[in-house]
């Protein structure tokens, strides 16, 4: 007699087989979008070009599932690229947004939600003494770099290959994320003089960082790093690497910036700096703290943050910064995560997925690399240890395309790029993880 799981799986696969033949609405929408929007999308990776496909259009999302305009339902591991840590449309967030919206959707003047959010961030993130809200992760990193330059009176910034810090002119050099997927790690339209102020080094090589500081330490305003690079898959620092960056920046008086837009409030309440015991000078944040609405923030040592206008000479402003809807949504989500012990649940689900994947790879005799921290994960189609961008680029892109297509056909949506990280939400459960592992088993068999 078939088990409940087997019966559910058969029913799901049968429905999926029927529904995936019906994608006419997405096809029509993408055709119209290409006439109106560059490439048909508002962010390059959404175009599905790295998987030789075309995007589907989502009609609704709830919990750990999304449904497209043709009625196809999928278990989602993209989670709007990270913010949906409770899953899609959690009731607490919907209620908070509705309540806030009834009082007004934007004021352009301070509101109480901003103070509550600032207090929560300062309480949760070890290094942050003061914080300013912005509207995106890109704005957070851009403002952090400007502040670091203003504070130090220096111009040059060190960043690392494969670390993506948004589409800031001076930082969109040797970037990851959509820049890799799109095949253009650098962008047209950026003056060479801007890029000349950015020093690019390989991630995980502290010796090269020290050598640059020894040569021009008095010119370097900041080192900015994705603490766990999550826009070129998911890369972990070697033991002592982050502390080495902390030490060398302190020695030369440069500002140490942690980009925790992806990892902040996702891997732990206090982000990577809590896990690693590292105290940066500034931290860029976003995603989870907006509950799905546009948001960003940057904060750090009060001495540095006080250089911002109106108190200091570094100008930064934003009409919608601290928007009441985004603040209300983010507060509701973060408070619910604490109430549910959400990080404990995410670790349990992540470990279940990791154990299943590793056992599967061993059984199949595949030496692919699987990296995970909490609810973030990435499967690299290479046998080489993943330590930097060069090792990431050894992955078999053709194998990934076959894997992606098979997973989508089975009702599992992962990012349409081998250079992105997967996200588990609190709305996922053991059953969804097991269904995903079953689909991965089949997908790995067709590569």
Q: Write out the catalytic residue numbers.
A: 164, 259, 287
Question: Is residue 429 classed exposed, middle or buried when 0-12, 13-18 and 19+ CB atoms within 10 A define those classes?
Answer: middle
Strand 255-259's sheet: what is its strand order? 130-134, 296-300, 282-286, 255-259, 220-226, 156-160, 198-201
Question: Is residue 172 classed exposed, middle or buried when 0-12, 13-18 and 19+ CB atoms within 10 A define those classes?
Answer: buried
Measured between alpha carbons, how far is 349 from 358 in angstroms, rounded to an integer? 14
**343 in Cβ contact with 269 (< 8 Å):** yes
Quote the strand ranges of 88-173, DSSP E: 130-134, 156-160
**238 in Cβ contact with 387 (< 8 Å):** yes
Backbone angles phi, psi at 273, to 5 degrees: -60, -30
Q: Which residue has tokens 């090269």?
A: 208
Q: What count of other Cβ atoms lies within 10 Å of the Cβ of residue 208?
A: 14
Q: Which residue has tokens 């899953």?
A: 87
Measured between alpha carbons, how far is 219 from 40 in angstroms, rounded to an integer? 42
Strand 376-380's sheet: what is its strand order? 369-373, 376-380, 422-423
Q: Partners of 176 in the beta sheet?
A: none
Backbone angles phi, psi at 65, to 5 degrees: -120, 150
Measured between alpha carbons, how far is 248 from 263 in angstroms, rounded to an integer? 23
Q: At what angle do helices 430-445 and 342-364 cross, to 10 degrees?
A: 30
Cα–Cα separations (whole angstroms), residue 177 to 155, 161, 182, 389, 442: 26, 11, 9, 11, 27
The residue length of the chain stands at 447
Question: Is residue 67 classed exposed, middle or buried when 0-12, 13-18 and 19+ CB atoms within 10 A define those classes?
Answer: middle
**245 in Cβ contact with 252 (< 8 Å):** no
> Which of 257, 253, 248, 77 lies closest to 154 in space, CA to CA?
253
């Amino acid at each position: 007699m078939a088990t409940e799981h087997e019966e559910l799986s058969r029913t799901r696969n049968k429905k999926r087989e029927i529904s995936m033949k019906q994608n006419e609405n997405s096809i029509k929408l993408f055709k119209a979008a290409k006439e109106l929007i560059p490439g048909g999308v508002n962010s390059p990776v959404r175009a599905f070009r790295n998987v030789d496909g075309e995007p589907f259009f989502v009609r609704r999302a709830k919990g750990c599932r999304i449904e497209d305009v043709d009625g196809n339902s999928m278990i989602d591991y993209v989670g709007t690229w990270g913010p949906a840590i409770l899953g899609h449309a959690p009731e607490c967030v919907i209620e908070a947004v509705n309540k806030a919206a009834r009082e007004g959707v934007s004021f352009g003047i301070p509101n109480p939600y901003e103070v509550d959010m600032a207090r929560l961030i300062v309480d949760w993130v070890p290094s942050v003494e003061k914080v300013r809200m912005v509207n995106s992760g890109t704005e957070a990193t851009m403002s952090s770099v400007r502040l670091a330059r203003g504070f130090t009176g220096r111009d040059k910034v060190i960043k690392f290959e494969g670390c993506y810090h948004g589409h800031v002119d001076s930082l969109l050099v040797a970037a990851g994320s959509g820049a890799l997927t799109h095949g253009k790690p650098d962008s047209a339209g950026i003056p060479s003089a801007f890029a000349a102020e950015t020093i690019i080094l390989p991630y995980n090589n502290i010796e090269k960082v020290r050598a640059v500081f020894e040569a021009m330490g008095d010119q370097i305003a900041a080192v900015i790093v994705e603490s766990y690079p999550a826009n070129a898959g998911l890369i972990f620092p070697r033991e002592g690497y982050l502390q080495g960056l902390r030490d060398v920046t302190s020695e030369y008086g440069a500002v140490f910036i942690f980009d925790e837009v992806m990892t902040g409030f996702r891997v732990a309440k206090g982000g990577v700096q809590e896990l690693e015991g590292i105290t940066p000078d500034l931290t860029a944040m976003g995603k989870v703290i907006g509950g799905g609405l546009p948001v960003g923030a940057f904060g750090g040592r009060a001495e540095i943050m006080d250089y911002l206008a109106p108190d200091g000479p570094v100008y930064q402003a934003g009409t919608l910064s601290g928007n009441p809807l985004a603040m209300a949504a983010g507060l509701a989500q973060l408070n619910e995560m604490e109430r549910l012990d959400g990080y404990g649940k995410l670790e349990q689900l992540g470990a279940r997925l990791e154990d299943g994947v590793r056992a599967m790879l061993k059984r199949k005799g595949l030496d692919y690399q699987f990296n995970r921290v909490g609810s973030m994960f990435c499967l690299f189609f290479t046998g080489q240890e993943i330590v930097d961008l060069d090792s990431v680029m050894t992955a078999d892109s053709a194998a990934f395309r076959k894997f992606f297509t098979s997973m989508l056909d089975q009702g599992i949506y992962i990012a349409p790029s081998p250079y992105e990280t997967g996200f588990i939400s609190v709305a996922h459960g053991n059953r969804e993880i097991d269904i995903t592992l079953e689909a991965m088993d089949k997908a790995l068999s067709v590569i």
